[in-house]
Amino acid sequence: MTIISDFKRNEAVPLDLGWINHIHINKSAADRRAASLANRRTVKKEYQAAWLIKAIGLIDLTTLSGDDTPGRVERLCMKAMRPLRSDLVEAMGLQDTPLATGAVCVYHEMIKPAVQVLQGRLPIAAVSTGFPAGLTSMETKVREIELSVAAGATEIDIVITRQHVLTGNWQALYDEMLAYRKACGEAHVKAILATGELVTLENVAKASWVCMMAGADFIKTSTGKEPVNATIPVSLTMVRAIREYHEQTGFKIGYKPAGGVSTAKAALQYLTLMKEELGNEWLQPHLFRIGASSLLTDIERQLEHYVTGNYSAAHRHALP
């Protein structure tokens, strides 16, 4: 993770149940705002190309499949370090611009091959705590975090226990998040809320707040395995919680939409959302990541179109 000199890592603050119980979300206002973002004309031509280059540096390039192999992860890491074809890099005059994704994101067993290829040049995020369902024992979950940190992960993407949200047991959610943060030590922790399983935007907002109060460095929408993953209304709810948490505590929390973000157009919508709701400071990798397995393929295609006027087949840009 980029170290920013004046950046103060989130510290846990006491759980304020009075605050949590008073959270209310105006769903139709959130839907209207989300629709206005989704229907907005995106930036064009060279501005679009510049934004897409920016987006590359914000991707947590992900592979989370049951058939992942060390070979696939090694290729993913090579792609993360050289995310654009060299002819496109040259055509855009980016030879002297450092280009890489924000991190790679893998299962615990794939940390080792990632460490071997990346050699500390890019952060490695490991999904943890019984990802994706989070229904292993607390002891197992904490140990899993410790093992992933020991193996070389510098970022840990934990999944919360959804039942704590669905039953309104905010103390239990706070306690588990606090334990995960402690187990991470220096590694930064992203709290995956699995928003597609939380039923209401109010639950999403409350879970965001509780995780931030318990020391999460990032809040993240989804595992990519829920039936509904990142959406704009959910993102709006979460980034507004981040904004208010910052106003109240001074701590800046990162945001990571993940799951189903596969097109350059969608990435541009998320960049616009972050810029408009949180400002330019949140367009940096220590405060914004997009968790995605195939987004880079589409960004590369769009940049090829920008350079040549033509699209090539997606498989020419295929990830491992």
Q: What is the edge-to-edge ordering of all strands in the sheet holding 59-62? A: 254-256, 218-220, 188-192, 155-159, 124-128, 103-106, 59-62, 290-292
Nearest to 210 by CA among 262, 175, 246: 175
User: Residue 25 or residue 103: which is nearer to ligand G3H going by CB?
Assistant: 103
Please tell me which residue in 60, 190, 256, 298 is annotated as part of the active site.
256
DSSP 3-state assignment of 189?
strand
User: Considering the complex, what minimum distance in angstroms separates the CB of residue 189 from ligand G3H?
Assistant: 14
User: Residue 61 or residue 88: which is nearer to ligand G3H going by CB?
Assistant: 61
User: Residue 20 or residue 106: which is nearer to ligand G3H going by CB?
Assistant: 106
User: Considering the complex, what minimum distance in angstroms separates the CB of residue 26 from ligand G3H?
Assistant: 29
Query: Residue 77: exposed, middle, or buried by beta-carbon count in 10 A (0-12, 13-18, 19+)?
Result: buried
Where helices occur in the chain by DSSP H, the ranges are 17-21, 27-39, 45-56, 70-81, 86-91, 111-118, 138-151, 162-166, 170-184, 201-213, 232-249, 264-278, 295-308
User: Considering the complex, what minimum distance in angstroms separates the CB of residue 44 from ligand G3H?
Assistant: 26
CB 229 within 8 A of CB 259: yes
- How far the first Cα of the chain sits from its last, in Å, is 24
d(C-alpha 222, C-alpha 121), whole Å? 26
CA 271-276-280 angle, 5° bins: 70
User: Considering the complex, what minimum distance in angstroms separates the CB of residue 134 from ligand G3H?
Assistant: 14
- Residue 6 is among the residues annotated as catalytic for this protein: no
Chain residues that interact with ligand G3H, rule: CB under 6 A? 62, 64, 105, 223-224, 258-260, 262, 291-294
d(C-alpha 317, C-alpha 186), whole Å? 35
User: Residue 293 or residue 302: which is nearer to ligand G3H going by CB?
Assistant: 293
User: Considering the complex, what minimum distance in angstroms separates the CB of residue 167 from ligand G3H?
Assistant: 26
Give the other-Cβ count within 10 Å of 149's Cβ: 20
User: Considering the complex, what minimum distance in angstroms separates the CB of residue 109 from ligand G3H?
Assistant: 16
User: Residue 125 or residue 177: which is nearer to ligand G3H going by CB?
Assistant: 125
Please tell me which residue in 60, 79, 141, 157 is annotated as part of the active site.
157
User: Residue 261 or residue 278: which is nearer to ligand G3H going by CB?
Assistant: 261
DSSP 3-state assignment of 71?
helix
DSSP string, 92-154: TT-TTS----SEEEE-GGGHHHHHHHHTTSS-EEEEESSTTTT-S-HHHHHHHHHHHHHHT-S
Tell me the residue number closest to ligand G3H, measured at CB: 224
- Residue 220 is among the residues annotated as catalytic for this protein: yes
- Residue 157 is among the residues annotated as catalytic for this protein: yes
* Residues identified as active-site: 157, 220, 256
